[in-house]
Chain A
Amino acid sequence: MRFFDHIRLLLIAIVAVLGLVCAVLPWVVNSMDDIVGRTTRHDVAWNGANGRDDFHDVMRKLLVHRLEASAESQANARLSHDILTSRLRTWRQGSFGAFVAADQKRQRWLDTAERAVGDIGDLLDQAPAPERTDRMLELIDVAEPAVQMLSRAAYVKSTRDLAETAQKIQFMQRVQEGLIALLIAGSLILVCLLLRQNSALRASVASESRTSARNAFMAAHDVLTGLANRSTFSAHLGQLCAGDGSARRHAVFVIDLDGFKPVNDLLGHGTGDMLLIAVAKRLAAFAGANEGSLAARLGGDEFLLAIADLPSADVALERAQSLLEQIRAASAIDEHMVTVDASIGIAVLEPGLTGPENLIDHADIALGIAKAVGKGQAILFEQSMLDGIAARIKMEGDLARADICEEFEPHFQPIVDLVSKEVVGCEALARWHRQDGSNVPPAQFIPIAETSGRIIDIGAVILFKACRAAAAFTTPITVSVNLSAVQFFRVDILKLVSQTLAATGLAPDRLKLEITESMMITDTRLVRQSVEALKAIGVTVSLDDFGTGYSSLSYLRNLGFDELKIDRSFVSEITKGGRPMAIAQTIVQLARNLDMTTVAEGIETEEQAQMLLAMGCRRGQGWLFGRPVGEREFTRLYSPAPRLALAG
């Protein structure tokens, strides 16, 4: 930019100089004209020379008159004398007059000449006589040197003037030449600058268009992978679908990498980025193999793929499977061989059906389900998924509007001593009695309440009501309450529990808090601190659903759980022997060795109860001992009667 400013300044300067030269040149030429004009303006030398001729003519005529002394010779002399008189007058005036006036000597010469010529005139007026003629010739002798000197001086002055003028003309010519040279040079520079400016301009236009092309590319593409971005993808999809509404079938894949986060965490973001680039290349290659297909990056580890012209939805699934296989292939990044899996949600635009905007959303819903049912799968969107979503959205709304204190309350399931069959405790399970009279099962509302954060209020209400109920029980049985991970991480659980205990008057050693394994993986340190704090105030903490998730022995070592609950999935198969039995056996043995009590869940038969007891498990819950029932019913059934008569 500065370069252009300089050039512009230079251009202006040159144009100014050219303008000045153009203005000055005519003035120079004009003044040369003036100089030349002065030289040609009536030549003084010429006038002087002619005057001398006139003078000599008079002298000649007087000599003739001296010889002839006739009237005719006198008349001739008279005429010549008149002409000389006329000449002398011009010597007094005009340019010659100025020449004479400039020098006193010249004035004296002219005075002398005039006087003598005047006297000759007087003598000529008189009758011719030889002595008068002699007198006239004497006067001629007087005048002659003066006339000669004037004539010669005029010549000398003219010559000098001429030389001076020639010098001036030469100088002016040189000025003129210089100006013309300046004019030509300026014009040449101007042309060169304009050419240069022009080419610079062309270059800048070219670079501008390169920049804008790059900007356009960057606007349309993902910076990291170079794949199209979402808006480009949408536009492409729009074109694909607008092209022909009838016979074609197009599919959208939404691809989410499984296990990308550990790669990022363990190997660093650099490796993560390179993995994303490697996956993007495979996607691009995959898209390149199908005409009209396009791969895009949605952001993070999510990608989009549009596949055009599919014969059927099944083919879309097949393609997705082969894509998954390609993604799973290990990538060599730096010195690592990195593998990553992916889940794919697929939406197919059936001929004449929903538009492209829904297509991505539908594929996204299918992806959510693919991730929910297990990683590494490709799932085709179905309309029923949309119904599930709608129901979920409705429930979210209902939950948000629900009166938690009124509508939520715990049901209690007895926990019995497998030996004595005495009810030694109960588990409080949340129930939602809606104001319209319907009941919603926990499996339906708890996941939704967890994602919306509503679980915090629900959990607090259930805890309070469970503690209040337990405190009212006539027998001092324990009450187990489930804690959600959301509660654990978002509220001060210790404060909540101690306040609740204080408000209900329940002894801390009668409260058992159940937390699930899945909480451990997120923040073990926080969990451990909370568990220790809860134990410190006398509350028991038990580990729920043991064996279903990332059962890690390190939790058991690091966290001082008091109780371990064996998941119903093991209990239900325990009588079949083999592995489930071995696992159950191991868990019980492990708990015993770690000084933990065990509670088996989902006991439905006496056989199961006997086997668990044989393994060393002392406590159990399940339909065999009693279903979850309301507070009043539980009190009626179990609380007054410490000893329970077993059904069937």
Chain B
Amino acid sequence: MKLAFVATAIAIAALIQPPPAAAQQKAPVILSVVDDSKGGQRTDLTLDDLQRLGSAVIRTTTPWHDGEQLFEGVPLARLLAHLGTRGNRLTLTALNSYMTEIPVADVTQYPVLLAYKRNGQTMPVTDKGPLFVIYPYDADKNLKTETYFSRSAWQVRSIAID
């Protein structure tokens, strides 16, 4: 737990620090993953990196939008497989320091998306971007509860795995 906190703190620190001038040419890192199950291995990902992992869509309503929305993004399961993690729990931190935990079991049970597009458009920070955790709320009654709404973090910036 303490370790996770430290990892998160590092992630936030990295975010707040301005990127080096040499890296400004490169596409910005939008997601940082620190995997404690692999000795604190850190992985930085750009939008391109995520898109390369292949995408999936979820069409659903949410408590934060009017009407049905089409979300597109990388399935969390695929991301975790890509990272080759052995952890059981994801701790997500948003740009506004909102933190939430997602058990890995959720990812195997539901096709949880780390969405980067809403209705075909990439999401800016002003529209809960760049990354938004989306469950298929309409597909399963159990998902329309506070438990899963609270796990649906927007403006996700980093993930700590343990």
> When each residue 70-106 of chain A gets 1 if its CB lies under 8 Å from chain B and 0 otherwise, what string results?
0010011001101101100110011111000000000
Q: Evaluate whether A79 and B125 lie within 8 angstroms (CB atoms) in the complex, with A42-B63, A94-B65 already known.
A: yes
| B residues in contact with A76, CB < 8 Å | 16
Query: B33-41, B49-57, B143-151: which lies at the A interface?
Result: B143-151
Of residues B64, B124, B127, which shows the largest number of chain A Cβ atoms within 10 Å of its Cβ?
Answer: B64
A44-94: which have CB < 8 Å to B? 50, 53-54, 57, 72, 75-76, 79-80, 82-83, 85-86, 89-90, 93-94
A90's closest neighbor in chain B, by CB?
B64
Q: Is the CB of B95 within 8 A of A83?
A: yes
CB distance from B145 to the nearest CB of A (A): 5
Residue of A nearest to B62 (CB): A94
Q: Please determine whether A86 and B154 come into contact, CB atoms closer than 8 angstroms.
A: yes
Evaluate contact between A94 and B64: CB separation under 8 angstroms: yes
Once the chains are docked, how many angstroms separate the CA of A212 from the CA of B124? 96
Cα of A42 to Cα of B126 in the assembled complex, Å: 20
Task: Give the docked Cα–Cα distance between A97 and B141 (Å).
Answer: 22
Q: Within the assembled complex, what's the spacing in Å between the Cα atoms of A80 and B126? A: 10
Neighbouring B residues of A90 by C-beta, 8 Å: 64, 128
Name the residue among A37, A42, A76 with the largest chain B CB count within 10 angstroms: A42
Q: Any chain A CB within 8 A of the CB of B66?
A: yes
Query: Are the C-beta atoms of A93 and B66 separated by less than 8 Å?
Result: yes
Point out the residues of chain B lying under 8 angstroms from A43, CB to CB. Answer: 146
Q: Are B64 and A85 in contact (CB under 8 A)?
A: no
Indicate if A490 sits at the interface (CB-CB under 8 A).
no
Q: Which residue of B has the minimal Cβ distance to A44?
A: B63
Give bound CA distance, A80 to B155, whole Å: 11
Cβ–Cβ contact B145 & A41, under 8 A? yes
Whether A41 contacts B63 in the complex (CB less than 8 A), given A86-B154, A89-B126, A89-B127, comes out as yes
The reply to whether the CB of A558 lies closer than 8 angstroms to some CB of chain B is no
Give the docked Cα–Cα distance between A50 and B126 (Å).
15
Minimum Cβ distance to chain A for residue B116 (Å): 15
Does B96 interact with chain A (Cβ within 8 Å)?
yes
Tell me which residues across on chain A come within 8 A of B18, comparing CB atoms.
Answer: 72, 75
A126 interface contact, C-beta 8 A = no
A451 beta carbon closer than 8 Å to chain B: no
A79 adjacent to B95 (CB under 8 Å):
yes
Q: Mark B16-30, 1 if CB is under 8 A from A, else 0.
A: 101000000000000
Tell which of A42, A50, A79, A95 touches B98, judged by Cβ atoms closer than 8 Å: A50
In the complex, chain B residues whose CB is within 8 Å of the CB of A85: 125-126
Q: Using a Cβ–Cβ cut-off of 8 Å, how many residues does chain A contribute to the interface with B?
A: 25
In the complex, chain B residues whose CB is within 8 Å of the CB of A41: 63, 144-146, 149
In the complex, what's the smallest C-beta–C-beta distance from A526 to chain B, in angstroms?
A: 110
Establish whether residues A54 and B96, one from each chain, have CB atoms under 8 Å apart when the complex forms.
yes
> Are A83's CB and B146's CB within 8 A?
no
- Check A94/B95 contact, CB under 8 A, given A37-B144, A86-B154, A89-B127: no
Verify if A435 is at the interface (C-beta below 8 Å from B): no
A-B pair number, CB within 8 angstroms: 61
Say yes or no for A40: interface residue by CB 8 A criterion: yes
Nearest residue, chain B, Cβ from A121: B126
Interface centre among B63, B127, B154 (most CB of A within 10 A): B63
Please indicate the chain B residues that have their CB under 8 angstroms from the CB of A57 in the complex: 96
The contact of B65 among A40, A72, A75, A93, by CB within 8 Å, is A93
Chain A min CB distance to B157 (Å): 10
Counting chain B CB atoms within 10 Å of each CB, which of A50, A75, A86 scores highest?
A: A86
* A94 & B146 in contact (Cβ 8 Å cutoff): no
Q: Which residues of A contact B155 (CB under 8 A)?
A: 83, 86
Q: Known: A41-B144, A41-B149, A42-B146. Contact between A82 and B63, CB under 8 A?
A: no
A97 near B66 (CB under 8 angstroms)?
yes
Q: With a CB–CB cut-off of 8 A, which chain B residues contact A93?
A: 64-66
Q: Is the CB of A83 within 8 A of B63?
A: no
- A90 CA / B62 CA spacing, docked (Å): 11
Assembled-state Cα–Cα distance A86/B147 (Å): 22
Give residues 77-102 of B contacting A (CB, 8 Å): 95-96, 98
Tell whether, in the assembled complex, residue A86 and residue B146 are in contact, meaning their CB atoms are under 8 Å apart. Answer: no
> Is the beta-carbon distance between B64 and A83 smaller than 8 angstroms?
no
Closest CB in chain B relative to A88 CB, distance in Å: 9
A63 to B69, CA, bound (A): 37
What residues on B are CB-neighbors of A83 within 8 Å?
A: 95-96, 125, 155
Q: Is B64 a contact of A42 with CB atoms below 8 Å? A: yes
Q: Which of A37, A75, A79 meets B145, CB within 8 Å?
A: A37
Q: For window 119-162 of chain B, which residues contact chain A by CB distance below 8 Å?
A: 124-129, 141, 144-147, 149, 154-155
Of chain A, the residue at the smallest CB distance from B152 is: A42
Given A94-B63, A94-B64, A42 contacting B149 (CB threshold 8 A) = yes
Closest to B154 in A: A86
Contact of A86 among B16, B65, B128, B141 (CB under 8 A): B128
Contact A94 B66 (CB under 8 A): yes
Q: Give Cα distance in the complex from A96 to B149, angstroms.
A: 14
| Residues on the B chain within 8 Å of A72, using CB | 18
**Once the chains are docked, how many angstroms separate the CA of A547 from the CA of B64?**
140
When distances are taken between beta carbons in the complex, the residues of chain B under 8 Å from A40 are: 145-147
What B residues does A94 contact at CB under 8 A? 62-66
In the bound complex, CA of A415 to CA of B124 (Å): 165
**B78 → chain A closest CB, angstroms:** 26
**Minimum distance in angstroms from B86 CB to a CB of chain A:** 32
B124 in contact with A82 (CB, 8 Å): yes
Cα(A57)–Cα(B16), bound, Å:
14
**A41 CA to B144 CA in the complex, in Å?**
7
Chain A neighbourhood of B146, CB < 8 A:
40-43
Minimum distance in angstroms from B85 CB to a CB of chain A = 28
Contacts of A82 on B, CB cut-off 8 Å?
124-126
Mark each residue of chain B from 93 to 120: 1 if its CB lies under 8 Å from any CB of chain A, else 0.
Answer: 0011010000000000000000000000
B16 to chain A: which residues have CB within 8 Å?
A: 76
Q: Which residues in B have their C-beta under 8 angstroms from that of A50?
A: 96, 98
Mark contacts of A17-51 with chain B using CB atoms, 8 A cut-off: 1 yes-contact digit, 0 otherwise: 00000000000000000000100111100000010
State in angstroms the CA–CA spacing of A50 and B150 once bound together: 12
- Looking at the assembled complex, report how far the CB atom of A386 sits from the nearest CB atom of chain B, in whole angstroms: 103
* Distance in angstroms between the alpha carbons of A76 and B63 in the assembled complex: 29
In the bound complex, what is the Cα–Cα distance between A97 and B61 (angstroms)?
14
What chain A residues lie within 8 Å of B95 (beta carbons)? 79, 83
Question: Can you identify 24 A-B contacts, CB atoms within 8 angstroms?
Answer: A37-B144, A37-B145, A40-B146, A41-B145, A42-B63, A42-B64, A50-B98, A53-B96, A54-B96, A75-B18, A79-B95, A82-B125, A82-B126, A85-B125, A86-B126, A86-B129, A86-B154, A86-B155, A90-B64, A90-B128, A93-B65, A93-B66, A94-B64, A94-B66
What 6 A-B pairs have minimum CB-CB distances, sorted nearest first? A42-B63, A82-B125, A40-B146, A85-B126, A94-B64, A90-B64
Chain A residues within 8 Å of B, Cβ to Cβ: 37, 40-43, 50, 53-54, 57, 72, 75-76, 79-80, 82-83, 85-86, 89-90, 93-97
With contacts A40-B145, A86-B154 known, what are 14 further pairs, Cβ within 8 A? Answer: A37-B145, A40-B147, A50-B96, A50-B98, A53-B96, A54-B96, A57-B96, A82-B124, A82-B126, A85-B126, A86-B125, A89-B126, A94-B63, A95-B64
